[in-house]
Structure 1
Amino acid sequence: MKAARIMTFFVLVLAGCGGTPGRLSVPAAPSEMQVRVSVSSVVVGEISLPEYANASEVVRETEVGLIETVPDLIWADVPEDAMTNALVRHLSQITNVPVARAPWPLSSFPDAELTVRTERMLLQADGQLRLSGQYAIRRDDGPWAERIGDFDLSVPVRGDDLPALADAHAVAWRQLAEQIAGQL
């Protein structure tokens, strides 16, 4: 029922806004984690999201399990781009090594390449933001060459307003970066 209250609030707030939809922007959620890694640089390659999660409309799960758009609410940035930028920022800060988006902007080659395939990024009917999928880390040489890992994160949406939903995305993306950093 909490999710229903949150979504009802979103609809009521946005209904009074008129013709211009609200834009959901995900803030930075700094990490306290510091990890020593076995690579000296990382390129964040492909980040994929399900079609419903990468559309400009923000979506939610209904009580009966359907995915619907939140009326008059759109993303401030393309979700794949926003998530990629967040992972780059977090991994750089957590690992203290150069991390950049593909294509790699430097003349040398990166030590590792990260790919993330997200199967679920959705505000569930129970009020939890669910982020799940798989990531792959590829290296050409070193003590290990390739790794694949799964992630399944749930973050409560703490509040009945748009910043609470944005904050939940920020926390989920930070937690994903922390999990990946532990595998570099």
Structure 2
Amino acid sequence: MPLDSAADLVDVTSAISASPRRVYIPRGGPLQFAYAVNPQDGSPVDVTSAISGAIAAHRLSGYPGEYTLMASGGMLHVVPAAAEGKDGERREISALMNESFTLPSERVTQVGPVLRAVLRAAGKSRGRQIVLASPLPHQFEETPFPMESRPLSARDWVSKALAAGGLEMSWLLLYDATFDNYVFTLYPI
């Protein structure tokens, strides 16, 4: 989510870079919230409640941005919902991954090409580039993907691709204000 308000950003250039280009990160800090834990493995008893608790703690902290929790394709997604604009006013935002489109079924038939096509299409919808920051697992290049002929949101395309890929993965999409683009990263769970 692009943060437009200067009050939402912290200049960390001197701490991480000698570059003349300034480096800004979202203002933030620790969050505290409680959730029930499974005594056998330490995992949350109710993952949805735990994530909702983190979102509520973020909202109460005064840190920038407002988020909501969505479920899609068997995955939970923390989605940006609002941010403070340059004028200091709260504004609702439509998350980039809400963009819907169809993909040409004859050209993308494996998980890897589908993910790359989704990122290109979602970025193009906002006039931005989405950079794939982590290499895709090798098997994604060979794993078949069951194409849909109907429009899906970018989020749903990603969920379906990850499910078809057969690996438990999490993903993160961040906005880089310095380069005015988005960075997409996959993480194994």
Please give the TM-score of this superposition, normalised by the length of structure 1.
0.25
Please give the TM-score of this superposition, normalised by the length of structure 2.
0.25
Higher strand proportion (structure 1 or 2): 1
**Larger radius of gyration between Structure 1 and Structure 2:** 2
